[in-house]
Amino acid sequence: MHSTDKTNIKHVLNEKEGFQIWWRLLRPHTLTASFVPVFVGTMLAYIDGSINIPLFLAMLVASMLIQSATNMFNEYYDFVRGLDNEQSVGIGGTIVRDGIPAKTVLNLAIAFFGIAMLLGIYICAVSSWWIAVIGLVCMLFGYLYTGGPLPIAYTPLGELFSGFLMGTVIIGISYYIQTLAITATVVLVSIPVAIFIGSIMMSNNIRDLDGDKENGRKTIAILLGRKNAVRFLGILFFIAFGLTAYYIIDGLLPVWSIIVFISAVKAVDVVKKFQGKTKPLEMVPAMIATGKTNTIYGFLLGVSLLLSKLF
């Protein structure tokens, strides 16, 4: 690609120089997928007792570091495999557009994993060493998501793994380290959150469908086709909100949790923004809206749990 073409794509994506090169590498619009589960899991623990604030903060930072490292591994391995180029959207562009050495990105990802492990030692010392086993498994899957001989992200299981590990597992860990117990309620409440997190990956795969297909990926979006994939995304949103409504009626969630349905407006917006779009750049707003749906839903769910404890 000519330098003028590279400049144009950076302009369209509003990519700036300096610190923002590294900020984009973290893919900040996706980081709520690590904040939300820790927040919700900790608020569930607060309802059932009290919370250790330093433990909550350590878990939050460790979770965000692991996700950031996963994003960096994604950036690195997609570049190494030749899947990313200067026109690719949905990536940090740190390697292909900003010229940062791929090895630097890989080393930074490993460093983030290392810091997360140190925080994990503190978390285990304060709570339980069983968390170390679960944490290492999560980190392994974070690497295998785009690394290894058969990356999970290249299969139809990407959404399932991302939703389960970052939704259900992280909520469970965040609850367990505070209470040293786990309940059926925690697992059930985690399901809608897991669906929204998996939906972020689903949106990403809908946007990248054409390029992924050319490179031999077998994502759900590719297997269903773009139109059906968008419909399926809408069904996932419907299931998540339906479960939430059922939990409120059944008493698993407090009445305060009705505020989460504010995020339904953004979920509808996601589907509308995808409809009729075929080019990756055209679908970037839908991808961003998906992340915001998860953010609004998860934040309001956590707030509703806090309110039920305070009032």
Measuring CA to CA, how many Å separate 284 from each of 20, 181, 208?
18, 41, 10
> What are the sequence ranges of the domains in the chain?
3-310
| Residue among 114, 107, 26 at smallest CA distance from 70 | 26
What CA–CA distance (Å, rounded) separates 311 from 308?
5
> Cβ distance 220 to 205 under 8 Å?
yes
Confidence bin at 13 (pLDDT 50/70/90)? low
- How many C-alpha atoms does 68 have within 13 Å on its Cβ side? 24
More confident residue, 47 or 4: 47
Is the pLDDT at 300 greater than 90, yes or no?
yes
Q: What is the dihedral of CA 64, 67, 69, 72, to 10 degrees?
A: -130
Q: Is the dihedral of CA 12, 17, 22, 28 positive or negative?
A: negative
pLDDT one-digit tens code per residue, 196-228: 999 999 999 999 898 888 888 899 999 999 999
pLDDT of 84 reads: 66
The one-letter code for the residue type at 175 is Y
pLDDT one-digit tens code per residue, 113-154: 999 999 999 999 999 998 888 888 888 887 888 777 888 988
pLDDT of 18 reads: 64
Map residue 50 onto helix, strand or coil. coil
Q: DSSP for 33-62?
A: HHHHHHHHHHHHHHHTS---HHHHHHHHHH
Confidence bin at 25 (pLDDT 50/70/90)? confident
Confidence bin at 50 (pLDDT 50/70/90)? confident
CATH for the 3-310 domain, from 3.30.70, 1.10.600, 1.10.3470, 3.40.190: 1.10.600
Q: How many CB atoms lie within 10 A of CB 233?
A: 26
pTM of the model: 0.88
Angle, vertex CA 296, rays to CA 257 and CA 202, nearest 5: 115
> Cβ distance 274 to 206 under 8 Å?
yes
> Cβ distance 200 to 290 under 8 Å?
yes
Taking phi first (over 0 means left), then psi (-120 to 50 degrees means alpha), and beta for anything else, what does residue 304 get?
alpha
pLDDT of 265 reads: 96
pLDDT of 81 reads: 79
The pair of structure tokens assigned to 277 is 């779009």
Measuring CA to CA, how many Å separate 59 from each of 38, 41, 124?
7, 11, 10
